[in-house]
Structure 1
């Protein structure tokens, strides 16, 4: 039986954004984006200079002005070590303020950050460093020099090289442009309705080397919020953080609330809760809503190749569509490929402004995975008539 490609548009009123328009290339795109991530962050720094930008649990905190000044000095230190525009620089730091300084320092130097988990073994780390051709690894004290800020990047320039390792193959570097990252930030902020009144986003065990956690961090900074970084999964330890946004992996959050039903963290009740990653059962969804009754709940799905986002489950549909990862948003479009695509089952395909242009130095794999504007996820999905997606089987080798 032959395979067919069937598009499944979202038919509901969810996450509508009039800023998204179809371009000449047939893809939906955001109009009016800033040219680069550094320019967008620079606007936030000047707008919210005195606010606290980032805090680590039991450690340092920096205002927006202090963070930008520190990152600019790191950029100067990188320039003194010979880092040029477009050079890849690996960031292998523990979760904390210094990781943020390192990441932003690479950006301001005009380099391309390559996130490397400190937990990655030496063999895999070596593969990432070799494949990315990183000219430097920031895995200790950060270099400092005369402040430097590069602001000449364009939307289509590479801004991030994010590796997605499969269990049976060497890591693949996913190329993400300024437009990919900026579009994803805009879509996430629109879908969640984040305000600029000084929210505090508690990131629990964030994997900052992954694009999903990074988008969460950047989205918070763009609206002048404070990023709170903690490695503790004990909900009782979150008391006193003043957080009104809670971000954690679904499994981490469920374990935490089952052991300690904390509903506020010192300032007011939690207003937003993000447990993106996978669909939840009806019982799990009900538990989280009973624990955080005043919060807007955000469950989303994304892959490194989609800049960590692309699908989201509307809060009002969580109980009626338990197990689903939601509908496409932010210019993302979905399709199914396979003999049963017309009946709502097949390989999930995605296209949109957040979708990568391909893999670093892997032209053959890129040509196979990105075809006709569509990214082939390798995951088997079911899509209903209203565009709600349910992941049936994950491609663990991707």
Structure 2
């Protein structure tokens, strides 16, 4: 029997005095983390939470998050991590759909969560930095040893951001998360107990939760937390905590790179940087590595694949611009609309099979059957695979622009525009066009003090890519809309209406 929390109990037994967490210069050891989580697990049981019950977490990156997370798992419960910025209506849906009995909530979000809990009757427990406020959630004997769970019991219910319709709860099992965390620690990042992992990705997001918190725990490393990502805070943490491994989405790397205080940053401790969540612009990768003397390894995954599916492994040739090769225990291929594998070098949808693929969508058998029609999970991402098994993402299936019968992949156009020295961020989107069906448009955020005009950028792209690909319309925005992990949200980019 495997309970994911065994990783915590094993590491706490092996390295009791090692810091598990670092925040604001303070440390929490593995022994302390285990003790607080065991106490919380006992209180959960005393308050009626049985194995298999769902418990929600609405917390920023503070020690309370790992305390509650491990506590729920020790008690045999299912963790439902939620974005703290959700509104009452959205919270109501998550609580009702998951049947969460209790939610642990940061003080700032209690009013919204309380409103959101009216229909479901979910109990709201307010938390401070280290867990529930003293005296608010007590009782029961500490549960020191993890409650028995089977490999394929659900450990985490992760709601995927629904681009269409309501979010769906991806059921990740104890085995899914354990194996992915282990491979993230050992194969991908080669984490040791001497490492300091930068926890700037939100822990409610699958990347931060599994590749950050769970992988650091498996390895007995320190996780340096930043409550909410901010480039100045990240720079300070890298220096003060001597961070060796950073994990982030491309916008985080760009924000650090372009921040004035990064010029004098002592980044000598940085060894490996893992990037995922969206495609890393080559220009950002090159500049970051040159400036800080470290290596960025790009990978790929989704909530439904726990999350890592492929990576540029440190032990293999790195191919910048690719998402690497399938990780151990996972198979990937590119398929056509009928599910047939396409030839090497041709564009197809990525399909994934392996021990990282979720059990299914919570209470949604039809959606599960549609996503995994033949044992292979369909990702909705278009890519090519080269002869050595390296995948290159071309785009999201639904983001592809069909201009006069020609396929335009926004990512390719974005890569071209990122090479312009004045461009900080760009998102390329399709715009309705009476003649061609769709036309290419680009929203651009410029660097401070830059003088480039939309016409300059159109001209720049026109000289570098095929005539059917370059944007006919460019508009400048102060910043681009981003999701909870800092990923640019193309679907929320709209051309300003002409006044």
The verdict on a shared fold, with TM-score over 0.5 as the criterion, is yes
Separation in structure 2 between the aligned mates of residue 289 and residue 332 of structure 1, nearest angstrom: 29
1:310 corresponds to 2:309: yes
Partner of 2:356: 354
Separation in structure 1 between the aligned mates of residue 377 and residue 155 of structure 2, nearest angstrom: 20
For residues 1-398 of structure 1, what are the structure 2 equivalents within 5 Å?
35-57=2-24, 61-139=27-105, 140-141=126-127, 142=132, 143-145=137-139, 146-149=141-144, 150-204=146-200, 206-215=201-210, 216-230=212-226, 231=228, 232-234=230-232, 235-238=234-237, 239-259=239-259, 260-261=262-263, 264=266, 269-293=269-293, 295-314=294-313, 317-318=317-318, 321-338=319-336, 341-342=342-343, 344-395=346-397
Structural RMSD (CA): 2.2
Separation in structure 2 between the aligned mates of residue 262 and residue 127 of structure 1, nearest angstrom: 46
The 1:393/1:326 distance shift into structure 2, 3 A limit, reads same
| Alpha carbons 2:75, 2:147 under 8 Å: kept | no
Separation in structure 2 between the aligned mates of residue 197 and residue 95 of structure 1, nearest angstrom: 21
TM-score by length of 1: 0.84
Separation in structure 2 between the aligned mates of residue 242 and residue 212 of structure 1, nearest angstrom: 22
Question: SS at 2:387's partner residue?
Answer: coil
| Largest Rg, 1 or 2 | 2
- Work out which structure has the larger RCO, using CA pairs closer than 8 Å and 6 or more positions apart in sequence: 1
| Alpha carbons 2:7, 2:217 under 8 Å: kept | no
* Gap regions ≥5 residues in structure 2: 106-125, 400-490, 492-499
* TM superposition shift of 1:280: 2.7
The superposition leaves residues 1-49 of structure 1 with CA deviations (integer Å, 9 ceiling, x where unpaired) of xxxxxxxxxxxxxxxxxxxxxxxxxxxxxxxxx8221122211110010
The 1:291/1:66 distance shift into structure 2, 3 A limit, reads same
Aligned residues: 358
Partner of 2:456: none
TM-score by length of 2: 0.68
Separation in structure 1 between the aligned mates of residue 157 and residue 248 of structure 2, nearest angstrom: 23
| Alpha carbons 2:351, 2:379 under 8 Å: kept | yes
Separation in structure 1 between the aligned mates of residue 190 and residue 343 of structure 2, nearest angstrom: 37
* TM superposition shift of 1:262: 5.5
Question: SS at 1:341's partner residue?
Answer: coil
The superposition leaves residues 175-201 of structure 1 with CA deviations (integer Å, 9 ceiling, x where unpaired) of 011110111012212323524342111
Question: SS at 1:119's partner residue?
Answer: coil
Question: SS at 2:240's partner residue?
Answer: coil
* Gap regions ≥5 residues in structure 1: 1-33
| Alpha carbons 2:39, 2:71 under 8 Å: kept | yes
